[in-house]
Amino acid sequence: MIGTRHRIEFYADKCVGCQICYKACFVDVIRWDIEVKKPVFKYVEDCEHCNYCEVSCKRGAIKVIPDFSSQSFRQSFDRYGKNRRND
């Protein structure tokens, strides 16, 4: 389990090293460990809680657990809400 205010749980025993989560993350949270062929959740504090990594993992190896009470979560929510209203 990796964590700051938010947590991303990674079940390495389920991971088959397909890199889908690594390619799905549009920010810099997920890096790739070439030697062990598994993702590394390096910058969890930058996670935008989009859940792309979790839903794209067909093996169920990732669980994103946002801290709904945190300031950064509310800021992310506000930002996306404003973007939707401007569409």
Binding interface with ligand SF4 (CB under 6 A): 15-21, 24-25, 27, 29-30, 39, 47-53, 56-57, 59, 61-62, 64
Shortest distance, CB of residue 7 to ligand SF4, whole angstroms?
11
Residue 58 neighbours by CB under 8 Å, 6+ apart: 18, 20
Smaller CB separation from ligand SF4, 5 or 50: 50
Smaller CB separation from ligand SF4, 26 or 81: 26
Give bridge partners of residue 30 from the DSSP assignment. 41
Amino acid at 81: G
Smaller CB separation from ligand SF4, 58 or 81: 58
Question: Residue 52: enclosing H or E segment and its boundaries?
Answer: helix 52-56
Token code pair at residue 48: 């935008």
